[in-house]
Amino acid sequence: MAALATQSIAQGLPIAPLLPGARLKPDREEMIPVPGGRAYVRINGDLAGPRPPIVMIHGGPGSSHWYFLNGTALADERAVILYDQLDSGRSDTPGDPANWHVPRFLAELEAIRAALKIARWHVLGASWGGTIALEYAATRPPSLASAIIQSPLVSTRLWMRDANRLRARMPAAIRRTLDACDQPGAADGPGCEAAMDAFYARHIRMFDPPAEIAAYKAAMPRSFSPDIYHHLWGWAEFSASGTLRDYDGTPLLAKLDGPRTLFVTGQHDEALPATIAGFARKVKGATFREVPDAAHSIMNDNPVAYVALLRDWMARHDG
């Protein structure tokens, strides 16, 4: 969960590519009223075009839309909608924990669809955004052309099981540091950032973002909101002490429209491919794809393969 939320970026990583056709500047941007405030929404491409648009839901909780920028290359064939959840990125920041619960985040997504007058759309959610996409798709809204559920939190119990398995594979010295840092208030202790970076370089983000995207991120008023992350998830990568600590969305799998559901994970993802493939098998007719040479931040690590996968998937489910 912290994968797309934290601000630590391992030093010395190779640089990810900027896709030809990626659009750093929006064609249109709005502050759209949602429950609790206004959400920042940016659009590239034509919402009135012949193909349903795609909306991309960021993770965290508390991250922002910047790491989806390579996905705007899809705007050559359909509109691409990126937005920041309330209290994140460029959205309003009321700072009220009463807004930080799953039903409100679902209502936020639907408020954006209604405000933009979108009849049908593809919904992609990554990490914590994958949780929102799962919850949304399970309601079978008539507006849903397809759901792309990427590296999702489906069960906190299983997420923690996998996180601990990956931590156990780290070198002993790093593992000891991670254990020491995995306590409330200890995440800023000696060596914690370096140990986290080592884990992140394996399973979170294998490449640093290209300079253009890094500059875009740096210019945002906030790219990560720790209060939301701490409230919903916890204090550190490997502990779930927040309100999602008992989250279990596995019963929702049976409610999905399988033929219109794509589960995605990265080859080296902290959302382990075997676990995500197992969720897909529980959904009759669902599709699972593993993106090679990518960790949790798939759109950053291997945007060429991911965008190609999305183009093919959506073209087959536009109708």
Q: Which residues are annotated as catalytic?
A: 127, 269, 296
Q: For residues 260 and 142, is the Cβ–Cβ distance under 8 A?
A: no
Report the side by side order of strands in the sheet with 144-150: 28-34, 37-44, 80-83, 54-57, 121-126, 144-150, 261-266, 287-291
Q: Which helix (H) or strand (E) element contains residue 193? A: helix 192-203
DSSP string, 278-298: HHHHTSTT-EEEEETT--S-H
Tell the residue number behind the tokens 């009321």, with chain if given.
Answer: 94
User: Residue 200 carries which side chain, given as an amino acid letter?
Assistant: Y
What is the rounded CA–CA span in Å between residue 128 and residue 149? 10
Q: Which helix (H) or strand (E) element contains residue 40? A: strand 37-44
